[in-house]
Homo-oligomer: A and B are copies of this chain.
């Protein structure tokens, strides 16, 4: 379901959050679908249940999931809002990168060319 990279500098609970949200956006996890329990996911990923609990708590705050005591945790309906939030975050990061590009005297044209190259690079991979 999710993979954790212990060499990653980012904390585990953030990796779990990102993993769940990515699967939700991809449609692998559908609205109202039940998530693994805190304990079972912890077992599966070989990490502490408290860490999963923290991730689920944050996911609930963000509105990605909702939890019911005794029943379980479930994907929320409003995945549209989730995608919008992630899109907003992405454009913020993009703004930072553009500013850095300006500092490095990278022209708009060079920048756009690079993006097109990156975009098209994976098309080859998809064909393989």
Contacts and interface: CB of A to CB of B under 8 A. Distances in A.
Contact of A118 (B94, B105, B106): B94
Copies in the complex: 2
Contacts of A25: 103-104
A115 B113 CA distance: 12
Contacts of A91: 114
Residue among A93, A118, A122 facing the most chain B CB atoms (10 A cut-off): A118
Contact residues on A (Cβ < 8 Å of other chain), bracket: 20 to 34
B95 A118 contact: yes
B98 A97 contact: no
Contact of A98 (B26, B105, B118): B118
A15 to B, nearest CB: 14
A68 interface: no
B115 A94 contact: yes
Interface of A: 22, 25-26, 83, 86-87, 90-91, 93-95, 97-98, 100-106, 108, 111-112, 114-116, 118-119, 122
